[in-house]
Amino acid sequence: MKLHCLAVAACLCVSALRGQAQSLTARPDTAQPTTVHYHFSQLKLNPDVSYHAPRLRMSVAAGMVAYGFAALTAHPLKELNRSTKAEIQEHADYTTTIDNHLQWAPALAVYTLNAVGIKGAHNFRDRSIIYGISCAIMAGSTRFLKKATREQRPDGSNYLSFPSGHTATAFAAAEFMRMEYKDVSPWYGFAGYAAAATTGALRMYNNRHWFSDVVAGAGIGILSTQAAYVLYPHVNRLLHPHATRNRMLMLPYYDPTWRSTGLSLVVARN
């Protein structure tokens, strides 16, 4: 693939990778009592950590979706779509079906890594529910928007161009992989996003989507997975309303490092 396709893929990857998102605490595979301490004195924020990163990530993804919508009517952005298509197709000597399979690669990698012993944030049951919620949100959103906008594909085959479903699937899977393995190594997230960006580039190379379709699809995919992680605790409580019982105990404590005293709220989870 020529330099233009690679540049587009790099832009998508860099845009989507900005910031860090919060992850949920994993439910252990075997029910073991755990204790969590919450100290109410000497609370300090680490200056080296960006506590606005999740909001930044969501804002970037929302901006990508907004760009896609703007390109449906804004003449300069529509012209950018056409010029990008012309430049890519000038070097497109063949079509490929790799994008049909690559879109699922990050999600498949999550299960493969867990199978070989590299554990992610959640066990099989929990991550499957999370990914299922993500796919449901992503698929429902893209299907609705395709029917509502009726944007014609670059190849003229139909009016289901906006947004790119393949790209949305790929970026939802990439964000899923990043969330599961960001505490293990950031390189897993980079690999997932590289596969997702390549999927988007290939959709344009195959003349199936405009540039704005791909950008919007990437944003929808990221937002869908983030929404799944937010919704999962509520879904889990509905599925297992009596699965978790908490016992709380308030105890005094002394911190020799800070030479201070305070109260410690001990939460024991069964």
Distance in angstroms (rounded) separating the CA atoms of residues 93 and 201: 15
* Domain presence at residue 178: yes
Q: What is the mean pLDDT of residues 61-75?
A: 97
Sorting pLDDT into bands at 50, 70 and 90, what band is 146? very high
CATH number at residue 12: 1.20.144
* Domain presence at residue 44: no
* Domain presence at residue 52: no
Residue 246 has pLDDT above 80, yes or no: no
* Domain presence at residue 10: yes
Sorting pLDDT into bands at 50, 70 and 90, what band is 232? very high
Q: Which residues contact 237 (CB under 8 A, 6 or more apart)?
A: none
Number of domains in the chain: 1
pLDDT in tens, 193-228: 999 999 999 999 999 999 999 999 999 999 999 999
Distance in angstroms (rounded) separating the CA atoms of residues 52 and 54: 6
| Termini Cα distance of the chain | 54
* Domain presence at residue 122: yes
* Domain presence at residue 230: yes
Sorting pLDDT into bands at 50, 70 and 90, what band is 249? low
Distance in angstroms (rounded) separating the CA atoms of residues 178 and 268: 29
Q: What percentage of the chain has pLDDT greater than the value 70?
A: 70
Residue 252 has pLDDT above 60, yes or no: yes
The larger pLDDT score, comparing residue 269 to residue 100, is at 100
What range defines the domain where residue 108 resides? 3-21+63-244
* Domain presence at residue 75: yes
Q: What is the pLDDT of residue 41?
A: 36
* Domain presence at residue 89: yes
Q: What is the pLDDT of residue 78?
A: 96
Whole-model pTM above 0.95? Answer: no
Distance in angstroms (rounded) separating the CA atoms of residues 54 and 22: 6
pLDDT in tens, 2-17: 444 444 444 444 444 4
